[in-house]
Structure 1
Amino acid sequence: MLRITDARTGEPAEIRRALTRVHAHVPRNDASALRVLLVADVLARALELGGSPVLLVADPPSALRERADDLGIRPSEAVGTRGGQRVLHVVGGGSRFGSGYGSGSGSGASVGDDTAGITDTSDTEVTVEVAPVVGPEESAASGASLRLALLTRPRRTPVNLDAAALAEAVDALDHWRKAVAAWATKPSRPVPDDARQALRAAWEDDLDVVAVLGVLRDVEKAEEVPDGARFETYAYADRLLGLELTREIGASA
Structure 2
Amino acid sequence: MQAANRASAIGCLPPPCPESAPETALGRSAAYAHPVLRITDARTGESLEAAPARRGLTRVEAHTAGAGTGALRVLLVADLLVRALELGGTPVWSVLTCERDRAELQAGAAALGIRPFEDSRDVGSGLGEAQVIHVVTEGTATPDGPTVAVAPVHGTAEGADPIALRLALLARDRAAPAALDPAVLDEARATLARWRGRVAAWARQPSRPIPDQARTRLRTAWEDDLDVPAVLDTLTWVETSPDLPDGARFETYAYADRLLGLELTRDLGTPA
> Is 1:126 aligned to 2:171, yes or no?
no
What is the match of residue 185 of structure 1?
A: 204
Q: CA deviation at 1:94?
A: 1.1
In structure 2, runs of 5+ residues without a counterpart are 1-35
In structure 1, runs of 5+ residues without a counterpart are 98-117, 120-124
What is the match of residue 109 of structure 2?
A: 68
Rounded Cα–Cα distance in structure 1 between residues aligned with 2:176 and 2:219: 22
Equivalenced residue count is 227
> Is 1:96 aligned to 2:141, yes or no?
yes
- Matched ranges for 1:1-253 at <5 A: 1-15=36-50, 16=52, 17=54, 18-60=56-98, 61-80=102-121, 81=123, 82-83=126-127, 84-97=129-142, 118-119=143-144, 125-134=145-154, 136-252=155-271
Q: TM-score with structure 1 length normalisation? A: 0.87
> CA RMSD, aligned part only?
1.1
Rounded Cα–Cα distance in structure 1 between residues aligned with 2:149 and 2:270: 39
Amino acid at match of 1:155: R
Amino acid at match of 1:131: A
Percent identical residues: 57
Q: TM-score with structure 2 length normalisation? A: 0.81
Q: CA deviation at 1:138?
A: 3.1
Amino acid at match of 2:162: G
Q: CA deviation at 1:78?
A: 2.1
Q: CA deviation at 1:96?
A: 2.6
Rounded Cα–Cα distance in structure 2 between residues aligned with 1:201 and 1:55: 24
Rounded Cα–Cα distance in structure 1 between residues aligned with 2:184 and 2:238: 23
Q: CA deviation at 1:221?
A: 1.1
- The answer to which structure, 1 or 2, has the higher relative contact order (CA under 8 A, 6+ apart) is 2
Q: CA deviation at 1:28?
A: 1.1
Q: CA deviation at 1:252?
A: 1.8
Residue pair 1:70, 1:142 contacting (<8 A) in 2 also: no
